[in-house]
Structure 1
Amino acid sequence: MPLQRRQLLAGIGGAATLTVAGCLGDDDRGTTLWNEFEDAEEETLEEHLEVFNEGRDDELNADNIADMEDQLETAIPAGDGPGTFAWAHDWLGRYHDQEFGYDASGDLSLDLESEFTADAVDAVQWEGHTYGVPYASETVTLMYNPDLVDEPPETLEEMVDIMDDHHDPSNGQYGLSYPPVDPYFVSGYLHAFGGRIFHEDTGELGIEDDEFIEGLELLQDNLWEYVPEDPEYGSQMAPFNDGNAPFAINGPWQVGGFRDAGVDATLAPLPDVDGGSPTPYTGIQVWYFTAALEDADETTFETIMDFAEWYTTNEDVIVDNAERHGLIPVHQEYAESDDLGEDVETFIETVEMGTPMPADPRMDLVFTPLEEALERVFNESEEPAEAMEAAAEEIRGRWD
């Protein structure tokens, strides 16, 4: 997720707590999991934990962690990390290489292949190891304010016309709320003409390819002029959240927040592109198992395993996540359901347009240089091809 959702949710998601010491199992609190959910998702998780904990001696608690990636990088090697945490599948390869994951292949009572979709099963496995259990699929899609927009645009050209009508920065009004330089969010248009940030089949970087540059120019020419000057997530979300923008492009984690703010955020597929097709990154959400489980006591270990299996197969959890947050079920029994609401239907349509985020561990060295290069283009200090050439040189240097 966005550089990857890791930097942005900390800025918008309520009061985050930082608890690293003794978090795997604490005599006073029981066992603890980590997440970096936005407020609405965190509230739902707490409700589900209340149900899970009924009748259990070892209660499972949740800590909402700001900058969770950085905290995990410190806590897991020190033996202070959680036994499980929630994140998209794209960390799997890196965690395998760092030996941060716990292979639960022989511990799960679930048969993953018979319970979950094939893509979801693939997403939690790396080189024969199973490092978690999948619970949902997600991507970003178009959201519009029906008080400002009668019908969602079917083409990018139509969207530009509507943004033009509402864009008035001098009065605090904008055409679009959209983190303009976050690779995850803008991937749909960067990939629109067949380019890719990273070619997973060949292991080659793709940001210098002509097709990728064409996608970047599409962003530059059609979308960037309608967003606030500050590219940071909070600044970008404010106009739509305050009812001062007709459109946002965001994921299921943000839907509840917009609606809680009083905006009837309505979902639509990403608009078509002349001569191309939006192809956003998609992610499988996973309850990861960490190396902390290697030395966990039996009670803590069983609590973590019981929770992961319960959460990912429980009907109330699956339906709640779908209906309240637009998370797409990956459990086979619910993945093809037509009864989970319009939000899920729209996200499914957009996911089908997309491509899975690469889980190759080298991707961790791609996103920061790429985001910095996108910001230089956004700020008009470099041309697209020049910026991508510099970013590619930096990335390959890091790979070496």
Structure 2
Amino acid sequence: MSMERRQMLRGIGGLAAVGAAGCLDRITGQQQGTTAWHDFTEAQESAFKRSLEEFNDGRDDTLNAEAPAEMEKELETALPADQGPETFNWAHDWIGRYHEQEFVYDASDDLEIDLEETYTENALEAVQWEGAVYGLPYAIETVSLMYNPEYVDEPPETLSEMVEIMEEYHDPENNRYGLSMPSVDPYFLSAWLQAFGGSLFDTESEELRIEDDAFIEGVELLEESIWPYVPGDPGYDSQIPVFSEGNAPFAINGPWELEGFREAGVDAQVAPLPDVDGGDPTPFTGVQVWYFTSQLESADESALETTIEWAEWYTTNEQAIIDNAEIQGLIPVHQDYTDSDNADLGEDVLTFAETVEMGTPLPTHPKVDQIWDPLESGLERVFNGNESAAQAMESTAQNIRDRWE
């Protein structure tokens, strides 16, 4: 929204407020006012609520918060109907697709903050598309190795060492496993899939790369060194309890699960991903963003200002940044907090930062959105022994190209 439009809305006053659709409560269907949707876990939510209460203190137009059960599905229903939130938090990889679907709002002319002086270069690039600014970044994250010190004295430095430890503890008949990890989700597997130079997609040529030998070698690495040690059900909800209940020495997961593991009684420790013989683990990294949605195109002045001020406040507030680091293990992208020697961030975030350095950003090209589900299905066929890695990637690639047509 341009400054001219903001001045126009100020001039017509209450008429704009009456005409704005606003977000509807998903249960009551009543107008709810300026709203943020979030996907924080139960363990993370208390810190978010503290931040929200501090932000709202003394404001006439307060920001409401909701946690939808299925963020993507509900956004794609609510936003076209002009009934969605003004902002929501998610990783940056939806930017390109939501630009094409016109689900996001360019706040370039509304922001008071100096973007280049505030955020790291990579984080700032992640929230922009074709010159538009569709949100503000507050952290970066990836998955890393977690271990239970009850079973593991020192984390393994190589995948071979990790396999030896997993082999020692893996005993499915007694509900013990070597590893807890969502086993066919490409995001969680990305470190291994891309360990030998492979990639999902070439953003410059817009070509699919999952049939390349380097990518298939990554799938075969999973077959040999990862999948033999996880539970037979690859789903997220089946994998998490294995580690949280103390039945595995290792987990591969993100900072969002760390506090939950500890609250469950496991003294979970974080370590960098182990080295791979002949390759380098290369996980996807995701910049966490408060998106500006298309609701702001028709929002009244107070809703627009509340949304922009929330994003600017949350992404620069010291306590929110430190809470995200200490409680969630999220790596700051504010330039004042990116010094690795900053002890306030805690050991967890510094270790996750090491793994981030190994990684590559999630691709944001709209075509990539059509890759995830078919690729997960293809990986599951290999996981279940129904197809070889090469066969599965060939059929998956054809499926994806059919979707692109």
Report the TM-score when normalising by structure 2.
Answer: 0.92
DSSP 3-state at the match of 1:134: strand
Look up the match of 1:71. Answer: 74
Aligned to 1:325, which of 313, 325, 328? 328
Look up the match of 1:109. Answer: 112
**1:306 matches 2:301:** no
Q: Deviations over 1:243-266 (max 9, x none)?
A: 110000001111111111111110
Look up the match of 1:366. Answer: 371
Aligned to 1:35, which of 34, 38, 50? 38
Look up the match of 1:345. Answer: 350
- Mean alpha-carbon deviation: is it higher for 30-39 or for 118-127? 30-39
DSSP 3-state at the match of 2:79: helix
Q: Aligned partners of 2:89 and 2:172: how far apart in 1? A: 37
**1:60 matches 2:63:** yes
Contact 1:181 1:375 in 2 (8 A): yes
Look up the match of 1:150. Answer: 153
Q: Aligned partners of 1:198 and 1:290: how far apart in 2? A: 27
Q: Aligned partners of 2:23 and 2:238: how far apart in 1? A: 30
Structure 1 residue 380 displacement after superposition: 0.3
Contact 2:143 2:254 in 1 (8 A): yes
Aligned ranges 1:63-212 → 2 under 5 Å: 63-212=66-215
DSSP 3-state at the match of 2:88: strand
**1:377 matches 2:382:** yes
Letter paired with 2:181? Y
Structure 1 residue 325 displacement after superposition: 0.9
Contact 1:20 1:71 in 2 (8 A): no
Structure 1 residue 20 displacement after superposition: 6.6
Structure 1 residue 29 displacement after superposition: 5.1
Structure 1 residue 222 displacement after superposition: 0.5
Aligned ranges 1:197-346 → 2 under 5 Å: 197-338=200-341, 339=343, 340-346=345-351
Q: Aligned partners of 1:380 and 1:395: how far apart in 2? A: 21
Q: Aligned partners of 2:241 and 2:118: how far apart in 1? A: 40
Structure 1 residue 21 displacement after superposition: 2.6
- Mean alpha-carbon deviation: is it higher for 197-206 or for 321-330? 197-206
Contact 1:29 1:59 in 2 (8 A): no
Q: Deviations over 1:108-140 (max 9, x none)?
A: 001111100000110000001100000000000
Contact 2:23 2:31 in 1 (8 A): no
Q: Aligned partners of 1:126 and 1:357: how far apart in 2? A: 14
Rate the CA distance shift 1:337–1:221 in 2: closer, same or farther, 3 A.
closer
Contact 1:138 1:284 in 2 (8 A): yes
Structure 1 residue 201 displacement after superposition: 3.1
DSSP 3-state at the match of 2:85: coil
Q: Aligned partners of 1:202 and 1:335: how far apart in 2? A: 33
DSSP 3-state at the match of 2:382: helix
Q: Aligned partners of 2:207 and 2:356: how far apart in 1? A: 24
Structure 1: runs of 5 or more not aligned? 1-18
Percent identity between matched residues is 62
Aligned to 1:399, which of 374, 384, 404? 404
Letter paired with 2:385? E
Q: Deviations over 1:288-329 (max 9, x none)?
A: 000001111111111111100000000110011001111000
Look up the match of 1:12. Answer: none
Look up the match of 1:386. Answer: 391
Rate the CA distance shift 1:112–1:27 in 2: closer, same or farther, 3 A.
farther
Contact 1:369 1:394 in 2 (8 A): yes
Structure 1 residue 31 displacement after superposition: 2.2
DSSP 3-state at the match of 2:387: coil
Q: Aligned partners of 2:202 and 2:154: how far apart in 1? A: 36
Q: Aligned partners of 1:384 and 1:119: how far apart in 2? A: 33
Q: Aligned partners of 2:78 and 2:204: how far apart in 1? A: 33
DSSP 3-state at the match of 1:308: helix
Look up the match of 1:14. Answer: none
Letter paired with 2:301? E
Look up the match of 1:3. Answer: none
Structure 1 residue 27 displacement after superposition: 8.4
Q: Aligned partners of 2:361 and 2:308: how far apart in 1? A: 26
Rate the CA distance shift 1:20–1:240 in 2: closer, same or farther, 3 A.
farther
DSSP 3-state at the match of 1:271: coil
Look up the match of 1:10. Answer: none
Report the TM-score when normalising by structure 1.
Answer: 0.93
